[in-house]
Structure 1
Amino acid sequence: AKKKAPCPGLGLFYTLLSAFLFSVASLFVKKVQDIHAVEISAFRCVFQMLVIIPCLIYRKTGFLGPKGQRVFLILRGVFGSTAMILIYYAYQMMPLADATVIAFSCPVFTSIFAWIFLKEKYSLWDAFFTLFAITGVILIVKPPFLFGSGTSGMNEGYSVHLKGTFAAIGHAMLAAMTLVILRKMGKSVDYFLSIWYYVILGLPESIIILFIIGEWSLPYCGLDRLFLILIGLFGLGGQILITKALQVEKAGPVALMKTMDIVFAFIFQIAFFNRVPTWWTVGGALCVVASSTGATIRKWVQSSK
């Protein structure tokens, strides 16, 4: 007899909880405004390293990985840690919902990079979804040459908003490259080992950048220090839960449930920063979500044939 799943919908619950933990971590990043995004990334790497080392020892996976996969692990670590720095910078430079929506365009870039590097099929539908995502980003950015001086609703200067936008787009692209590399490696590499490269390369990268820009400083109050610890723990918890979700549920439903990241970002922005997103942001979010959802469903249907 066919073995029945112990708990239907468990993977979707893991995904929902993962989205919540990632969103809370991004909220704490936004709250810690006196510490540079690169320094926050460094602290997160330290806290995650303290958790990952015992896990690797317990699972007896080693710290280097299979010889044939080490180059991919290094690339995954560099791209992943740089993506983390960029999204933290975006959270500090622009509204939480705007940065989250732009970062959610990652699936569109994943389709493009998978077509280039993995020779996966890229159809006219994929191109349409890409254009739809670009439209959503434009609605959020509101470039003056299209919208005139309609940027008065921003509390920060438009140049700061633009910096955050480029950082969020950079995060989406590097996160997409990370997903392509993970897809290339498949199940031959333990996920904890993948996270290990993520933190062991992210820490020196963050330290080097901090020395170059001269932004290293210890947090002034105990609350900021608590936020830094929670950012590391919640970020790691979100990574583990989304991995467990993909182990017990198909990638399509998991990707669709991931849209809750945007819902939580909107809720947190209103509740904790008393800042209601503009209709342009809402419209842009709908475009990006529709684009990413369409791309995900199409890949899901193709893989199930």
Structure 2
Amino acid sequence: MPLAESQVVSQTVPMFAATYAWIFLGERWHLSEFFSALAAIAGVVFIVRPAPFFLQEAASTAGGDRALGVAFGLLSAVSSGGAYVIIRLLGTRVKVHWAIVLLYQALGQMFFCPLGMLIAQQRYVALDKLQVALCLLCGLLGFWSQAAMTWGMQREKSATASLARQGLAPVSALILQLVFLPGDAVLWTTFAGFGCIITGLAVAVVAKTRRSSAATPSPLSS
């Protein structure tokens, strides 16, 4: 599926993270979280573009591979939501340093990647110099992205930073797609799906910020 659409689907992570936090950490769900979840579902519908509702758009992007891409994108969001909750738990309750968490994440990838190759019936393939350079660059960018996310998740839940991260990822992906993958189609449903998801996220973040401010006693009152 197009790069921008895959990033829009990944913005459903907060919905799954909030669900895990409610189940395993006992965090309450408020009306804003329910609205955010419904907005995320609406955003995914725009990306999936089911034929009964989007006949023209569904016909222009038909194909089993794309449907499989959406399914795996949602599976990634489900997994990432659980990882965010565990990282937060490790940083606030168990008090594990972020570098140690990052090390075990890397070890887990090294362990599960060969298993994934076996499941996908893949085998080792020698890469040329350009492919090696691009793979190393991808690994470097992924490492620093994961490191920054782990460090930030363990130390502070900033409303502004959270909204910026979730909002800028699809925008950056769209720009990169237009520059490097101009052949991939960009439909109006991509922007509609992103608008639904980021609106729901913004409502949840603003509501949480107001609740936190109301729960914090004023210095004058003390």
TM-score tier (shorter): 0.7 to 0.9
Matched, 1:272 2:180: yes
The answer (yes or no) to whether the contact 1:107–1:176 under 8 Å persists in 2 is yes
State the match for 1:285 in structure 2: 194
Residues 197 and 247 of structure 1: is their aligned pair in 2 closer, same or farther, counting only changes over 3 Å? closer
Compute the displacement of 1:245 (Å).
Answer: 5.0
State the match for 1:200 in structure 2: 107
User: 1:227-267 CA deviation, whole Å, 9 max, x = no partner?
Assistant: 11011111111223345556786521110110211111010
141-150 vs 221-230, which moves further: 141-150
Matched, 1:150 2:57: yes
Compute the displacement of 1:116 (Å).
Answer: 1.2
SS of the aligned residue for 1:240 comes to helix
Within 5 Å, which residues of 2 pair with 1:168-179?
Answer: 168-179=73-84
Post-superposition, which runs of at least 4 consecutive aligned residues in structure 1 deviate over 4 A?
243-250
Compute the displacement of 1:210 (Å).
Answer: 0.8
265-274 vs 110-119, which moves further: 110-119
Compute the displacement of 1:297 (Å).
Answer: 2.5
Q: Distance in 2 between matches of 1:297 and 1:99?
A: 26
State the match for 1:21 in structure 2: none
Q: Which runs of 5+ in 2 are unaligned?
A: 216-222
Q: Aligned residues: percent identity? A: 27
The answer (yes or no) to whether the contact 1:100–1:261 under 8 Å persists in 2 is yes
State the match for 2:219 in structure 1: none
State the match for 1:60 in structure 2: none
Matched, 1:104 2:11: yes
Q: Select the residue among 122, 137, 144 that pairs with 2:44.
A: 137
Matched, 1:120 2:14: no
The answer (yes or no) to whether the contact 1:104–1:288 under 8 Å persists in 2 is yes
Matched, 1:183 2:91: no
AA aligned opposite 2:79: L
TM-score (norm 1): 0.64
State the match for 2:160 in structure 1: 253
Residues 104 and 177 of structure 1: is their aligned pair in 2 closer, same or farther, counting only changes over 3 Å? same
State the match for 1:216 in structure 2: 123
TM-score (norm 2): 0.86
Matched, 1:295 2:204: yes
AA aligned opposite 1:298: A
Q: Distance in 2 between matches of 1:186 and 1:98?
A: 32
Q: Distance in 1 between matches of 2:100 and 2:122?
A: 30
Aligned residues between the structures = 210
AA aligned opposite 2:210: V
State the match for 1:167 in structure 2: 72
